[in-house]
Amino acid sequence: MSYNFEIIGITPILTFFDYQQRLETSPKRSKTYLGSYKCTLDSFIESMQIIPKKPEWNWDEVTESIISFWLKHESNIRHWQAELKEVNEQALVVGRVANLDSLRTEFEQIFEL
């Protein structure tokens, strides 16, 4: 399997957890969201531990995709670190992990309809 990680924005804590509880219940979903109080590599890796219902993925590969993102996107990371400092303490920086194989299957099913 292959995975992709990217930082997608900043959101209030309650909004993130509400979204996570309502929409992330399927273990076969194609993506999941990680929220962190800090925009650091370690904090995103640690945030994988609190996903309510983890998809059935290779989590070592997910970790590798996060590390790869961190090594290749310094300016993007610096941008989100600065943005997070500007908002109040009740916010999280949010990253999305996508299982590219599952996402491809979802798109193929959409176009078959």
According to the model, what pLDDT value does residue 36 have? 95
Contact 36, 43 (CB under 8 A): yes
Interval 29-86: pLDDT, tens: 888 899 999 999 999 999 999 887 788 899 999 999 999 999 999 999 999 999 999 9
Residue bearing the bigger pLDDT, 2 or 26? 2
According to the model, what pLDDT value does residue 60 have? 95
Is 113 a residue whose pLDDT tops 70?
Answer: no
Q: Where are the domains of the chain?
A: 3-112
